[in-house]
Amino acid sequence: MSTLFIERLLQPLYRRFSLWGDFATQPTYLYEGTKDLEKNFDVIRAEYDEIIKRYDDFAPFQEISPHQTYISNDDKWRLFFLKGAGIWFPKNCEQMPETAKIIKRNKEIVSAYISVLGPRKKLEPHAGPYSGVLRLHLALDIPHKQRCYIDVNNERLHWTEGRCVLFDDTYIHSAVNNTDKLRAVLFIDIVKPLPLPLHLVNLAVIKMARLFSYVRIPLANHKKWQRVFYDG
């Protein structure tokens, strides 16, 4: 059974019955974990300030997800995974231990990683593969509020350091860093709130996702990158 088939089957149900409604962008207060993330921004930012010193060694997106080079095909979008599709990256978590603790106590978080856009970088319009999650960004380093933004379903959102934005990434979206500096967010996927029995169906699909190529290949590629990052 393909991921495309599953998405086509479930997306209308998820959008219709989502407990937060069917909107491309969502108010962040709906997700209780927002408070925890924003309250601990200084802690997360301090750990980010240390690990970003190795920015040039971060994994380029197209090497992690080679099937998605239509989004980014240069080295200007780099990632540092803490958790992906429910799978933890312990060595990376050791580099950001307090951030990892925050993620662990927010059980709705499926994936979490540092996402860094290089100078003058644009991510091409695209849509996420599965509507059973919602996307949250905690803005870590935003060099210019007006020149750094994300467009979601024709709505423009500007990041503010220390604050979150929440959206459904299965709507068409793109991101821009129109400055000469790095732009960084803590990139998080949370389980979309759904009524029973859809919630249980969603949890099962999320757990199975690591078996599908669109998740399995990036996770395997990141593990390969990790060996180079730590062992040289």
In the chain the domains, ranked by start, together with CATH numbers, are 3-226 (2.60.120.330)
pLDDT tens profile 124-175: 999 999 999 999 999 999 999 999 999 999 999 999 999 999 999 999 999 9
Q: What angle do CA 110, 72, 9 make, to 5 degrees?
A: 50
Cβ neighbours of residue 130 closer than 8 Å, sequence gap 6 or more: 3, 6, 7, 170, 205, 206, 209
Residue 225: strand, helix, or coil: helix
- Give 67-104 as a 3 state SS string: HHCCCCCCCCEEEEEEEECCEECHHHHHHCHHHHHHHH
Q: Which position has the token pair 């990892």? A: 100
pLDDT tens profile 24-76: 999 999 999 999 999 999 999 999 999 999 999 999 999 999 999 999 999 99
What is the pLDDT, as a whole number, of residue 210? 87
In terms of DSSP H, where are the helices of the chain?
A: 3-17, 33-39, 41-51, 61-64, 90-95, 97-105, 198-208, 213-231
pLDDT tens profile 67-104: 999 999 999 999 999 999 999 999 999 999 999 999 99
**What CA–CA distance (Å, rounded) separates 207 from 199?**
12
At 5, the pLDDT band (50, 70, 90 cuts) reads confident
End-to-end CA distance of the chain: 39
